[in-house]
Amino acid sequence: MGATLTGPLLPEDEVVGSVGLVEKQFWHFASESDPLILDNRMTLAQVDVAYETYGTLNANRDNTILILHGITGSSHAAGKYAPENRTLGYWDPLIGPGKVFDTNRFFVIAPNSLGGCRGSTGPSSPNPQTGKPYALSFPIITIRDMVRMQERFLREGLGITQLALVTGGSMGGMQALEWAVMYPERVKAVAPIATTARVSARAIAFNEVARRAICLDPNWNRGQYYETGNETPQDGLALARMISTITYLSDEVMREMFGRKPASEETALEHDLHARFDVERYLHDEGEKLVRRFDANSYLYLSKAMDLHDVSRGYPTLEEALQRITAKALFVAIRSDDLFPAHETAEMVRIMQGLGKHVEYFLMDSAYGHDAFLVHQTRMIPALRRFMASL
C-alpha cells in the first residue's frame, strides 16, 4: 500500500481578511490488497484526493475542522492561489485568523469529494487498468462512500483520527451528517447546513431532469467524450445547471432580482423569439460558467449520490440512526430554501432533542433560497460563533 502527500502551503502573504496564499495539495492512495470498498461492493484500488489546509495541526492532532463542499464545489474554501486572483475561496469569510473557523486555533481541511472533477478521483480520472478516463465505468458512489474515503485520507494520509468539527452545506451537509453517524467516536461537533436527512421526491425529480438534459446532448456519447476534442456535452451540462439554479433560488428572490425585466430595455421581446428576459440571461450565464469548470459525468454521479442519500438507510428508523450521534450538533436551515426545506432540518432537531442529544438549531433569515449558505454566509456567523465558543 502506498500513500503520498504533495504540495505544501505557500508562504503567507498579506491578503487582507484571508488565510493568504494557498496551494492545492494531493494525497494518492493505492492498494490492490486493501481497496476502498463502496456501498455497492465495488472497489477502487487507487484514489487521488485533492485538498487544501489552513492553520496548524496541534501536537494532539485533535484540532481539525473538516469543511465539505456542495455538488459543484471544490477544495478551494479560503484564500487565493495567486495575489492577482480576483476571487477568494467559497467560504473565505468564515475561515481564517480570528474568524468563525479560527485558524489560530484550528487546523482546517477542505477536500474535494470523491466522484468530482476538481482534483479528486471521478469519472474523468484515468482508470489505472486502461489508462483512459473511467467515464461510465466509474462505479456508482454514495455520500457514505465519500465519507469513507475522507476517513481513510485523514487517518492514513495525515494521521488524524479525531475531528473537532465537521461541517458543510448542501451535499457537504449530507457528508457532515454521515460523519457524525458513521464515526461517532471521532467527531466532537457537527454542523450540517442547508441539508437533509434524506432527499425528497421533488429534489430527486429535478436531479433526474438535469441528468436527462446531459444524456440527451448528442455530444455526451454515453459518457465517452473525453477524447473527442471540443465535442463535449456543453449544452446538456449548461441546461442541467439552469434547471438546478431554479431550485437554488426562491420565488421571493427571483421576483426581487428579476421580476419580468428584459435583459435589455431596447430589446423588443414580442418581435424576437430568442430575446431574453433578465432571468433567462441569468440562467444562461450560470450554465455557461459551470461548463468552463465542471465535468458532465461528475454531475451525473454526484447528483445520483445525493439522490441516494438517506442517513437512516441500514437502520430500522431515522431515530435509531441519529441515536448514534454523540457530537454536539448545530443544524442550520434557510427560511426560503425550497430544495431542502427548513421543516426537514427541524425534523432532525426534534428527534435529537427527544433523544436527549446536545443539539442547537438556527434558522437563517434569507430570501435567497438554498444558495443562501454561500451568498449570505455571513448571516450564519453569530450562531456559528456561539457554537464554536462551546467547543
Closest CA to 187 of 20, 341, 326, 371: 326
Beta-ladder partners of 66: 109, 166
Continuous segment of H or E residues that includes residue 164: strand 163-169
132-146, 159-173, 266-280, range with the lowest pLDDT: 266-280
pLDDT single digits (tens) 246-269: 999 999 999 999 988 876 655 555
Whichever domain contains 208, its CATH number is 1.10.1740.110
Whichever domain contains 172, its CATH number is 3.40.50.1820
Question: Do 22 and 124 share a domain, yes or no?
Answer: yes
Tell me the C-alpha distance between 39 and 36, whole Å: 10
Continuous segment of H or E residues that includes residue 189: strand 189-193
**Would you name the residues annotated as active-site residues?**
170, 337, 370
Of 263, 283, 304, the residue at which a domain comes to its end is 304
Question: Do 120 and 28 share a domain, yes or no?
Answer: yes
Tell me the C-alpha distance between 244 and 236, whole Å: 12
Question: Do 188 and 292 share a domain, yes or no?
Answer: no
Chain-centre distance for alpha carbon 294: 13
What does pTM read for this prediction? 0.93
Question: Do 93 and 48 share a domain, yes or no?
Answer: yes
Question: Do 173 and 50 share a domain, yes or no?
Answer: yes
pLDDT, mean over the chain: 93
Cell of 18: 484571508
* Percent over 70 (pLDDT), the chain: 92
Continuous segment of H or E residues that includes residue 37: strand 36-37
pLDDT single digits (tens) 50-61: 999 999 999 999
The confidence band for 388, taking pLDDT boundaries of 50, 70 and 90, is very high
The DSSP secondary structure of 46-99, one letter per residue, reads EEEEEEEEES---TTS--EEEEE--TT--S--SSBSSTT-S---TTGGGEETTS
Domain with 287, as residue range(s), is 203-304
Of 288, 304, 320, the residue at which a domain comes to its end is 304
How many folded domains does the chain comprise?
Answer: 2
pLDDT reading at 87 higher than 90 = no
Determine the length of the chain: 391
- Residue 365: exposed, middle, or buried by beta-carbon count in 10 A (0-12, 13-18, 19+)? exposed
pLDDT single digits (tens) 206-230: 999 999 999 999 999 999 999 877 7
